[in-house]
Each structure stands twice: as C-alpha cells, then as structure tokens.
C-alpha cells in the first residue's frame, strides 16, 4: 500500500516546545474466544442491536486542534489547528491544516472512501493516493511516522457501519466486538452500549498496529468530541506516535459543493 507523505517541517521547529501528555491506550488485540460468522443467530442479534442504536452521520463542519506526540528518537510534541468538513452525500472529508501561531493554512486534504488528495498551499500540484497511511516526516531526524488515516476517517464519517455488515465479518458476541479482514490488515470494532468505542488495526503488510478511541458527549455522538490514535511499530512493539484530535465549534450543516475542491 502506498503511503502519503505530509511534511510538517516548520511545525516541528516552532511548536515542539509546548508539553502535555496524551492519553496512552493499550492495544487489546484479538480475543482467544471463538468468533462467530455473520450468518449465525448470535451474530445477527448483536448486529441488529448495534444498528438500531447508530446515530445518523449528518454533514458537518468543525474546527479542531491536534497534538502529535512522537517518541523516536526522543519524546516530542507538535501542535496544529485546522478546519474539518464532511459531506454525508459524497462521504468526502476536507481537512485544512493550519499552524497554531499564525493561523495560516499550509496543507489541504480531501478524502473519500477510496483515495486521499493532498495539496500544499505553496504549490499548485495535487497529489492523489489510495486510501491508506499518511506519513509525517520530522526534518530534524528525517524519521517518518505512519498515521493510519482509515481509522480516523471511519470514525468521522460513520463508514464503519457498512464495514460491520460485511458478510465476511466475524463476531465476538460476548464482548460486542466485530472483526474484519481487509487487504491492508485486520480491523476490529469494539462497541459499548451499541456505540463504537474503539477501533483497532493490525497490519503486518504495513508493519504497524493502531488504536483509535473516541470520546463523545451523551447528547452528541456525531461528530465526536475527541479522537485519540496510537500507532505501534511491529518491529519494536513500542509506540511511534500518539495523536489527539479535539473537535470544537461543530455545526451540522451541508458544506457547499465547491468546498471539496482545491
């Protein structure tokens, strides 16, 4: 799988001075309990209960703050701000990344279920990649950190609802977990009281494990309040990066069609 390379050079220099800890979740992994096929009665019952409690993933726009905490070769923090737009009809997301100090947009990203397009504001060139990882490069060390964008995308758009209805999905009915093998790795969806609570990905092809945990308000499931993502290297079994995204000033509205153009 190709990976998208997103350079945040100036931000690593300027904004690594602030320091705050990001919640560090543990990777649970597949349970040793038996997983049932989607055709079995217990699986159908669990799926029905989950689908009945799903919210409608309406279009919205939001502002957000992002903290990226890296660990190799040393612990460091990067802070970004941005704006986020989602269209229910097209399942498109647009993200504008801005530096926290000047508020200037330096990169725009448009994604749908199949691809990611990235355009730095400093150039007219638009790069198009299959949906997959985004690589962030630290210019101080040239170290690259993979961020599995699909786990964030599925939370924000609700596309996981279609994934858990895949006939090939496997169900751990005891703990309300649904596992699905995709070409890029093993995904598992953890539900709590019918709502998606955690999403895990293990991919030998990509050499990583990832966890995404969402925090919501009781009166507002979508869009979420916070998403915490942790990426672990399969080589070292140590975390490479922690990412905290906090959404704010969210409004349920359909963005104009020209929003999803560069």
* Amino acid 15: pLDDT: 45
Residue with tokens 């104009």: 256
How many angstroms separate the CA atoms of 182 and 256, rounded? 33
Distance, in Å, from the CA atom of 118 to the CA atom of 6, rounded to the nearest integer, reads 8
Share of the chain above pLDDT 70, in %: 84
pLDDT digits (tens, 9 = 90+) for 130-176: 988 887 665 555 666 678 888 889 989 989 999 999 999 999 999 99
Identify whether the C-beta of residue 163 lies closer than 8 Å to the C-beta of residue 169.
yes
Closest C-alpha among 92, 114, 85 to residue 250: 85
Q: What is the pLDDT of residue 11?
A: 43
Confidence of residue 222 (pLDDT cuts 50, 70, 90): confident
User: Range with the lowest mean pLDDT among 30-44, 173-187, 225-239?
Assistant: 225-239
The pLDDT value recorded for residue 3 is 54
Alpha-carbon distances of 9 from 16, 110, 117, 118, 141, rounded to whole Å? 11, 21, 19, 16, 11
How does DSSP classify residue 38? Answer: T
pLDDT at 258: 93
**CA distance linking residue 116 with residue 127, whole number of Å:** 8
At 86, list the tokens. Answer: 């989602």
Q: Are 147 and 229 in contact (CB under 8 A)?
A: yes
Structural domain boundaries in the chain: 4-260
- CA–CA distance, 196 with 227 (Å, rounded to integer): 12
pLDDT-derived band of residue 13, with 50, 70 and 90 as boundaries? very low
Retrieve residue 202's tokens. Answer: 């293990």
Could you report the per-residue pLDDT of 40-85, keeping only the tens digit for each?
A: 999 999 999 999 988 788 999 999 998 888 776 677 787 888 999 9
Q: Is residue 17's pLDDT more than 50? A: no
User: How many CA atoms does the CB half-sphere of 184 hold within 13 Å?
Assistant: 18
The residue among 34 and 240 whose pLDDT is bigger is: 34
Stretch 175-183: mean pLDDT, rounded?
A: 94
Q: Is the preceding peptide bond at 122 cis, omega within 30 degrees of 0?
A: no
- Nearest Cα residue to 78 out of 239, 225, 243: 243
| pTM for the predicted model, two decimal places | 0.84
Contact criterion met (CB below 8 Å) for 221 and 125: no
Fold of 4-260: outer membrane lipoprotein receptor (LolB), chain A (2.50.20)
Q: How confident is the model at residue 10 (pLDDT cuts 50, 70, 90)?
A: very low
Q: Three-state DSSP class for 105? A: strand
Summarize the confidence of residues 196-215 as an average pLDDT.
Answer: 88
pLDDT > 70? residue 14: no
Mean per-residue pLDDT, 210-217: 82
What mean pLDDT is predicted for residues 247-251? Answer: 91
Window from 9-13, 22-26, 179-183, 257-261 with minimum mean pLDDT = 9-13
Q: Mean pLDDT, to the nearest integer, of 233-239? A: 75
DSSP assignments along 247-260, one per residue: EEEEE-----GGGG
What is the C-alpha R_g of the chain? Answer: 18
Residue 153 burial (C-beta neighbours within 10 Å; 0-12, 13-18, 19+) = buried
What is the reported pLDDT for 43? 96
Of 2, 12, 254, 256, nearest to 142 by C-alpha is 12
């Amino acid at each position: 799988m190709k990976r998208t390379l997103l350079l945040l050079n100036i931000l690593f220099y300027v904004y690594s001075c602030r320091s705050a800890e990001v919640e560090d979740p543990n990777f649970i992994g597949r349970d040793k309990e038996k997983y049932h096929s989607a055709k079995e009665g217990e699986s159908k019952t669990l799926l029905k209960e989950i689908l009945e409690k799903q919210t409608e993933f309406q279009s919205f726009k939001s502002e957000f703050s992002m903290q990226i905490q890296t660990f190799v070769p040393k612990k460091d923090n990067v802070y970004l701000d941005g704006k986020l737009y989602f269209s229910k009809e097209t399942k498109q997301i647009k993200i504008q990344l801005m530096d926290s100090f000047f508020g200037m947009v330096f990169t725009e990203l448009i994604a749908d279920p199949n691809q990611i397009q990235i355009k730095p504001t400093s150039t007219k060139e638009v790069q198009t990649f299959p949906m997959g990882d985004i690589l962030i490069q630290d210019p101080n060390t040239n170290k690259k950190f993979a961020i599995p964008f699909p786990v964030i995308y599925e939370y924000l758009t609700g596309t996981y609802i279609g994934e858990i209805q895949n006939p090939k999905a496997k169900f751990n009915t005891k703990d309300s977990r649904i596992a699905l093998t995709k070409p890029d790795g093993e995904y598992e969806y953890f539900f709590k009281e019918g709502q998606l609570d955690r999403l895990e990905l293990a991919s030998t092809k990509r050499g990583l494990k990832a966890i995404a945990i969402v925090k919501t308000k009781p009166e507002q499931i979508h869009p979420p309040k916070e998403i915490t993502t942790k990426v672990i290297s399969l080589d070292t079994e140590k975390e490479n990066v922690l990412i905290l995204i906090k959404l704010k000033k969210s409004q349920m509205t359909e963005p104009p069609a020209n929003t999803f153009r560069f």
